[in-house]
Amino acid sequence: MNRKLIPRACAFLSATLLLGGCTMIPKYERPVLPVADSFKAEAVPGATETAPVPAPAVRDVPWQEFFTDARLRSVIDLALENNRDLRVATLNVERVAALYRIQRSELFPTIGVQATGERYRIPESVGKDGQASTVSAYTVGLGMASWELDLFGRIRSLNARSLEQYLATEEARRGAQTSLVAAVAGTWLSLAASEENLRISQATLEAQQDSYGLIRQTRDAGIGSDLELSQAASQVEAARAAVASFTGAAAVSRNALDLLVGASVPADLLPERLVAVTDPKGLEAGLPSDVLLRRPDILAAEHLLRGANANIGAARAAFFPRISLTAGFGTSSPDLDGLFKSGTNVWSFAGQIVSPLFASGSLIANLKVSKLDREIAVATYEKAIQTAFAEVNDGLTLRTTLVEQRDAQEALVKSLEDFSRLSDARFKAGLDGYLGVLVAQQALFNAQRGAVGVRLAEQANLVTLYKVLGGGV
C-alpha cells in the first residue's frame, strides 16, 4: 500500500508545483516619462541641431577616472571604506536579502525529524480489571510541517514583492555610495578653495604691511600724510580679518571632510589646488532624458513600484481557498529497543482547505489598499523622474554660464593686476596719492577671491553632474 501511495503523492506534488508557478500579479507596464524627451539643447556648450546622442559617457566612467587628482581619489577610497552611513546602507541590503530568503523559503516544505519518549501510569480507577499499569511509548518520525500549496500564487506574489524590495535597497545603497563620492569631492574642493583664498589673503596682508611700512617711513620723513597712513592701516586690518576668516573656513571644511571619510584624513592627502574633476564627455545638444532611468534613486523607485504591483497579486489570491498539507512517516514502539523492528512503521497524511466565506469586506478593502499603494508608487516614481530632470537641466545650464563667468573673471583679475601694478608704480613715483593704490589693491583682492569662487562653482557643478546623471561604479 505504501509503495503505491508514494508515487501518487509525488505526482500530486509535482502537479501542484507546476500550478503554483501561476500568479495573479497584473502585467507591469513602466509609466511614460512625465518629462520632455530631451534636455534643453541651449544648455550645453557648442550645442548644434543634431539627432539625439547616446547616454553620456559620465554614467559609464568609474569615479576613479572622473576625479583626476590622486589625493582626492585616495580620500574617496578612505570614505568608501570607513563612512558609517554607507556602512548602514550596506548592512540594510544584507538585512533585506535575509528577509527575502525567509519569504522565499515559504515556497518549499519544511521537513524535520522528531523523536519522543513517554511513560505514564494508568491508575486503578481506570485500569483494566481495576489494576494499575505503566505504559511506555517511543516514536521516531520524519515529518513535513503544514505546507501551503501555492495554487493561486499568493506566496509567489509576496516573494516577488520581497525581491523588488531587496533590489530597491541595493539601488539605495548604490545611490548612497554615489552621494558619498560627490559629497567627499565637494567638501574636498571647498577645502581647496578655502586654502587658496587663505593664500591670497596672506599674500595681500604681506603686501599691505609692506605698503603700510613704506607710508609710515614717508610720513615720518614729512612727505606722507596721516590720512594715507590711516588708509594703509585699515587695509592691513581688513586683510588680517580675511586671513582669520578663511583660516576658520578651512578648519570647518577639514572637520567636515573627516566626518565624511569616517577617519582623520592624513595631511599628505589634503588638496594643493582647486582642479580635480574632469569635464564629462557626451553631454551634447539633445541629450535624451531616458538616461535618467539609470539613476539609482529612479531604479529604486521603479523596484518599489514593481513590488506594489506584485502585492496586488497576493491580495487577489486571498479571495481563493488555501490548501495546506501535513505528512509524517516513522516508527513507534512501546520499547526503546524495538523502535526499528518490523511492524512498527507509522505514517500520517492530512490536507486542509480554508476558504473565505464572509470577511466583512476586509478582502475587498485589502485589494483596494494594494491598488492605491501602486498608484502612490507610480506618483512617487514620476516625481523622482521630474526632480532628476530638473537637476540635470540645472547642471547643464550652469555648465555653460560658469565657463563664460570663469573666463570673464580671469580676464578681470589680469586687468586689475595691471591696474594695481601701475597704481603702485605711480604712487612710488610721487605722481598719485595712496588712494589709487588702495582702490586698486582692494579691487584686485575681491576679484581674486571671486575667481576662486567661480572656479569652485565650476568644479562643484561637474561633481553635481556626476551625481545627477547617476554617478559611476
pLDDT digits (tens, 9 = 90+) for 140-192: 878 777 778 888 888 899 999 999 999 999 999 999 999 999 999 999 999 99
Q: How confident is the model at residue 12 (pLDDT cuts 50, 70, 90)?
A: low
Q: How far apart are CA 284 and CA 447, in angstroms?
A: 32
The pLDDT of 203-210, averaged and rounded, is: 88
B/e letters for 183-218, b = 16+ CB within 10 Å, e = fewer, are: bbbbbbbbbbbbbbbbebbbebbebbeebbebbeeb
Question: Which residue ranges does the chain devote to CATH 2.20.200.10?
Answer: 111-149+323-354
Q: How far apart are CA 14 and CA 134, in angstroms?
A: 45
Q: How far apart are CA 345 and CA 140, in angstroms?
A: 10
Contact 315, 359 (CB under 8 A): no
End-to-end CA distance of the chain: 62
* The three cell numbers locating residue 83: 563612512
Q: How far apart are CA 107 and CA 149, in angstroms?
A: 8
Question: Helix 84-105 vs helix 154-220: angle between axes, to the nearest 10 degrees?
Answer: 180
| DSSP SS3 for 391 | helix
Strands of the 322-333 sheet, one edge to the other: 111-122, 133-149, 322-333, 345-354
pLDDT of residue 441: 85
Q: How far apart are CA 180 and CA 172, in angstroms?
A: 12
pLDDT of residue 143: 75
Please give the backbone phi and psi of residue 213, each rounded to the nearest 5 degrees, phi first: -65, -40
Q: What is the DSSP string of 2-27?
A: HHHHHHHHHHHHHHHHHHTT---PPP
pLDDT of residue 21: 58
The residue among 132 and 302 whose pLDDT is bigger is: 302
pLDDT of residue 8: 54
| DSSP SS3 for 460 | helix
pLDDT of residue 199: 92
Looking at the DSSP bridge assignments, the partners of residue 325 are 147, 351
Please give the backbone phi and psi of residue 419, each rounded to the nearest 5 degrees, phi first: -60, -45
* The three cell numbers locating residue 70: 590622486
- What pTM was estimated for this model as a whole? 0.80
Nearest Cα residue to 196 out of 160, 150, 242: 242
pLDDT of residue 282: 54
pLDDT of residue 269: 92
Predicted confidence (pLDDT) at residue 35 exceeds the cutoff of 70:
yes
Nearest Cα residue to 196 out of 460, 451, 469: 451
pLDDT of residue 281: 59
Contact 401, 428 (CB under 8 A): no
Question: Which residue ranges does the chain devote to CATH 1.20.1600.10?
Answer: 23-107+151-320+362-468
B/e letters for 5-23, b = 16+ CB within 10 Å, e = fewer, are: eeeeeeeeeeeeeeebeeb
pLDDT digits (tens, 9 = 90+) for 406-439: 999 999 999 999 998 898 888 777 787 777 888 8
Predicted confidence (pLDDT) at residue 246 exceeds the cutoff of 50:
yes
Predicted confidence (pLDDT) at residue 447 exceeds the cutoff of 80:
yes
pLDDT of residue 377: 95
Assess if CATH 1.20.1600.10 describes domain 23-107+151-320+362-468. yes
The pLDDT of 466-470, averaged and rounded, is: 87
Q: What is the DSSP string of 418-450?
A: HHHHHHHHHHHTTSS-HHHHHHHHHHHHHHHHH
Beta-carbon contacts of 384 under 8 Å, excluding residues fewer than 6 positions away, are 297, 298, 301
Grid cell 501551503 in the structure block, residue: 148
Contact 346, 141 (CB under 8 A): yes
Q: How far apart are CA 425 and CA 413, in angstroms?
A: 18
B/e letters for 244-272, b = 16+ CB within 10 Å, e = fewer, are: eebbebbeebbebbeebbbeebeeebbbe
Q: Provide the 8-state DSSP code for 33.
A: P
Rg of the chain taking only CA atoms, in angstroms: 38
The residue among 287 and 90 whose pLDDT is bigger is: 90
Q: Which amino acid is at 9?
A: A
pLDDT digits (tens, 9 = 90+) for 341-390: 777 788 888 888 888 877 778 899 999 999 999 999 999 999 999 999 99
Helix (H) / strand (E) containing 322 = strand 322-333
pLDDT of residue 331: 86
Cα separation values, 389 from 54, 177, 385, 392, 469, Å: 17, 21, 6, 5, 9
Grid cell 501555492 in the structure block, residue: 150
* The three cell numbers locating residue 175: 545611490
Q: What is the number of other CB atoms lying within 10 angstroms of the CB of residue 173?
A: 21
Predicted confidence (pLDDT) at residue 74 exceeds the cutoff of 90:
yes
Mean pLDDT of all residues in the chain?
83
Burial-class residue 43 by CB neighbours within 10 Å (0-12, 13-18, 19+). buried
Predicted confidence (pLDDT) at residue 256 exceeds the cutoff of 90:
yes
Domain 111-149+323-354 class? mainly beta
Q: How far apart are CA 466 and CA 61, in angstroms?
A: 10
Beta-carbon contacts of 387 under 8 Å, excluding residues fewer than 6 positions away, are none
Grid cell 501542484 in the structure block, residue: 16
pLDDT digits (tens, 9 = 90+) for 261-317: 999 999 999 998 887 677 665 555 467 778 888 889 999 999 999 999 999 999 998
Q: How confident is the model at residue 11 (pLDDT cuts 50, 70, 90)?
A: low
The residue among 242 and 432 whose pLDDT is bigger is: 242
Q: How confident is the model at residue 258 (pLDDT cuts 50, 70, 90)?
A: very high
| DSSP SS3 for 473 | coil
Cα separation values, 286 from 36, 61, 313, 399, Å: 11, 21, 40, 15
Share above pLDDT 90 across residues of the chain, in percent, rounded to a whole number: 38
